């Protein structure tokens, strides 16, 4: 083992936000850091996420912010105590990136772009001595040296297999969404064969499939449904209700509102095989108002024209009513009014994990210590999406990735210091 931190070496495997934050944290303490990534360049998923506007975090108070992490709130809270949304915005400012709060409370860089931020960050990391090794795909440890220090790591590179030794390792390899950008979950069997329990990877922030009619699919795929509310009863029999918007797809539904409800919907699907959600197509109108307006005499007008005239309901929302009601039922004004406020839509399965924005599952927090070191693999730390947690879009995913990278970096430095006789913090 090295005799001081400045003679220690750490391999950070994965060049996303969690890995880069771990690298920066270690470099600031004088540790020699090498970042390895299987892709030709780092931050590919980060850049893709920023194409529609780089939503970096959220401005809401910490209490509801923490609530976005659902069942893993208790495990994410200590990470955000160390590096929460306010600290992230301060860090960005120090990087030269100004931010602003949008109308939805989401926080963006002033130029809305991810690339300038990533360039500035990489420049600072390189100035701090961090070395980058691209097209290096981690394939595990050298078997004969497992458990020894320093650890011997194997990589596939364009020049063949390479063995690297490091005093500590930080794994920040992502989940299983967007594998073409590097998150291919190839690490799962590598940790599994070392006895690390892995929670099955599942799609998160994903779309779901519905059995549309051919006409509805051809006519409305790609159209947004807004405003609308979704209600679903989760596996704990708690009713969740949220308002927003989603998009009709050829296979079902997706979009921000669906993503916000995806964990509850997915878990019900896993438990029951199918799930019926309730849509409120007029969430800003009370039921009695809808009944009063829809049951007014419509004369020779069609029901569709009547709905447009009386409550401004048309287009894809009327299409959804036709999907839910028979031709005969669509002439029953009272039934139509009730269906507008509570339209049952059956979802049959989530879209493939490769299409999801993020993934749930991974290394359980129960398998790591407070510093994110894997209990069964001393000197190996995990950060980012490969840990078992999930959150909706809105900046929550990135915030926790940054925070976990910083905590893992500090943990690795503390562990190295402790091995050399220093106090572990």
Which of 303, 320, 350 is the last residue in one of the domains? 350
In a domain, 424, yes or no: no
Q: Are residues 156 and 273 in the same domain?
A: no
Q: Are residues 156 and 239 in the same domain?
A: no
Q: pLDDT (tens digit, 9 = 90+) per residue, 183-215? A: 999 999 999 999 999 999 999 999 999 999 999
Q: Are residues 105 and 172 in the same domain?
A: yes
Which of 350, 375, 395 is the last residue in one of the domains? 350
Q: What pLDDT shows up at residue 4?
A: 64
**How many Å apart are CA 158 and CA 174, to the nearest integer?**
22
Q: Going by DSSP bridges, is the β-strand pair 252-254/160-166 parallel, antiparallel, or unpaired?
A: unpaired
Q: Are residues 119 and 179 in the same domain?
A: yes
Q: Are residues 108 and 163 in the same domain?
A: yes
Distance between terminal CA atoms of the chain? 19
Q: What pLDDT shows up at residue 2?
A: 52
Q: Are residues 137 and 269 in the same domain?
A: no
Q: Are residues 163 and 231 in the same domain?
A: no
Q: pLDDT (tens digit, 9 = 90+) per residue, 238-248? A: 999 999 999 99
- Which alpha helices (DSSP H) does 133-195 contain, by range? 187-192
Q: What pLDDT shows up at residue 423?
A: 35
In a domain, 111, yes or no: yes
Sole residue written with tokens 């993020």: 358
Q: Are residues 199 and 213 in the same domain?
A: no
Q: What pLDDT shows up at residue 421?
A: 46
In CATH, what number is assigned to the domain containing residue 122?
3.50.50.60
Question: Which range of residues forms the domain containing residue 372?
Answer: 5-203+359-419
Q: Are residues 178 and 289 in the same domain?
A: no
In a domain, 100, yes or no: yes
Q: Are residues 264 and 408 in the same domain?
A: no
In a domain, 340, yes or no: yes
**How many Å apart are CA 307 and CA 311, to the nearest integer?**
6
**How many Å apart are CA 320 and CA 216, to the nearest integer?**
8
Q: What pLDDT shows up at residue 425?
A: 37
Q: What six digits make up the tokens of 363?
A: 């290394």
Q: Are residues 12 and 114 in the same domain?
A: yes
Give the contacts of 37 (CB within 8 A, at least 6 positions apart).
13, 14, 15, 19, 132, 133, 134, 135, 136, 182
Q: Are residues 279 and 163 in the same domain?
A: no
In a domain, 425, yes or no: no
- Note whether 12 and 34 are within 8 A (CB): yes
- The count of domains in the chain is 2
- Provide block-wise average pLDDT over 10 residues at a time, the chain (425 residues): 73 98 97 98 91 92 95 97 97 96 94 95 98 98 71 96 96 94 94 95 97 97 98 95 97 96 96 96 98 96 96 97 97 97 98 95 98 96 97 94 98 88 39
């Amino acid at each position: 083992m090295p005799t001081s931190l400045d003679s220690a070496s750490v391999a950070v495997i994965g060049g996303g936000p969690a890995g880069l934050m771990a690298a920066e944290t270690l470099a600031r303490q004088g540790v020699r850091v090498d970042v390895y990534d299987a892709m030709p360049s780092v931050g590919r998923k980060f850049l893709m996420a920023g194409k529609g506007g780089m939503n970096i975090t959220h401005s809401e108070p910490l209490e509801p912010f923490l609530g976005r992490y659902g069942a893993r709130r208790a495990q994410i809270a200590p990470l955000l105590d160390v590096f929460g949304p306010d600290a992230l915005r301060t860090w960005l400012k120090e990087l030269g990136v100004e931010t602003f709060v949008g109308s939805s409370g989401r926080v963006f860089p002033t130029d809305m772009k991810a690339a300038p931020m990533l360039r500035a960050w990489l420049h600072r990391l390189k100035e701090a001595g961090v070395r980058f090794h691209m097209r290096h795909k981690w394939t595990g440890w050298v078997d004969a040296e497992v458990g020894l220090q320093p650890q011997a790591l194997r990589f596939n590179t364009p020049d063949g297999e390479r063995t690297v030794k490091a005093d500590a390792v930080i794994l920040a390899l992502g989940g299983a969404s967007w594998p073409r950008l590097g998150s291919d979950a190839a690490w799962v069997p590598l940790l599994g064969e070392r006895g690390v329990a892995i929670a099955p990877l599942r799609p998160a922030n994903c779309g779901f499939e519905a059995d549309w009619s051919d006409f509805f699919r051809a006519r409305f795929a790609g159209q947004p449904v807004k405003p609308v509310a979704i209600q679903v009863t989760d596996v704990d029999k708690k009713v969740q209700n949220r308002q927003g918007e989603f998009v009709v797809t050829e296979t079902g539904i997706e979009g921000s509102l669906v993503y916000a409800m995806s964990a509850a919907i997915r878990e019900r699907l896993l438990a029951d095989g199918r799930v019926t959600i309730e849509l409120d197509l007029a969430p800003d109108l009370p039921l009695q108002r809808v009944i009063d307006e829809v049951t007014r005499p419509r004369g020779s007008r069609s029901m569709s024209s009547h709905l447009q005239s009386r409550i401004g309901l048309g287009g894809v929302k009327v299409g959804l009513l036709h999907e839910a009601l028979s031709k005969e039922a669509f002439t029953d004004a009272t039934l139509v009014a009730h269906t507008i406020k509570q339209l049952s839509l059956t979802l049959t399965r989530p879209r493939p994990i490769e299409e999801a924005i993020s993934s749930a599952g991974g290394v359980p927090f129960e398998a790591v210590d407070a510093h994110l070191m894997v209990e069964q693999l001393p000197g190996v730390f995990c950060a980012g999406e490969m840990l078992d947690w999930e959150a909706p879009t809105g900046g929550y995913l990135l915030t926790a990735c940054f925070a976990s990278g910083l905590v893992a970096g500090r943990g690795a430095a503390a562990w190295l210091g402790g091995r050399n006789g220093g106090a572990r913090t």
